[in-house]
Amino acid sequence: MNERYLKLEVIWKDEDMFELKVSANNGRYSGITEVYEVSDSLLKFVNELNGFPFGKDKVTHSCGEKDSYAYFEMEFYKIGLTGKCGLQIKMEENVATEYRKEEKDKLVMELIVEPNSIDIFCRELKLLAENESGVAELKAVGKYTNNIA
């Protein structure tokens, strides 16, 4: 299955925060990381992303900390006048030692998404943040095909 997606799933929570399992696949590359998040931060992002791309050029959200245990960032941006949007996903996990920050699993990928998919993702993400449980999934456009004959 070569589905293209970004999926956020709550896998743990306590009274202060919750942990998200973030998985993404662009048809060729895929990755998973687990980061801590709080409802207020995620709800603020949902409000910024809602209605994207109308009236906005770029919306970004991140959780975790770069060059620490785990990090996740999603940046939505307009792609010209096509009506489609780009989503750059950054993931990091597993710093080996404080002296060798380059010994880390890192991934950067892009998904192409349509505004309607972003609207659905916003609704799911809002419920996830409010309930601190569940799954929010953003479906991307098309399937990956390689150029091998």
Tens digit of each residue's pLDDT (9 = 90 or more) over 93-124: 876 666 666 667 899 999 999 999 999 999 99
Q: Which pLDDT does position 95 carry in this prediction?
A: 62
pLDDT of residue 97: 61
Token pair 């998973």: residue:
32
Asked if 138 and 117 touch (Cβ cutoff 8 Å), the reply is: yes
Q: List Cβ neighbours of 28 (8 Å cut-off, separation of 6 or more).
A: 144, 146
Task: Please say if the pLDDT value at position 143 is more than 60.
Answer: no
| pLDDT over threshold 60, residue 144 | no
Model pTM? 0.90
Ordered by start, the domain boundaries in the chain are: 5-139
Q: Which DSSP helix (H) or strand (E) runs through 94? A: none
The predicted pLDDT at position 147 comes to 40
The answer on pLDDT for 145 being more than 60 is no
Fold exhibited by the domain 5-139: Secreted effector protein pipB2 fold (3.30.2450)
The pLDDT tens digits for 40-96 are 999 999 999 999 999 899 999 999 988 778 999 999 999 988 889 999 999 998 766
Q: List CB contacts of 89: < 8 A, sequence separation 6 or more.
A: 6, 24, 31, 72, 73, 74, 107, 108, 109, 110, 111
Q: What pLDDT sits at residue 146? A: 46
- Cβ atoms within 10 Å of 38's Cβ, excluding its own: 14
Q: What pLDDT, on a 0 to 100 scale, did the predictor assign at position 31?
A: 96
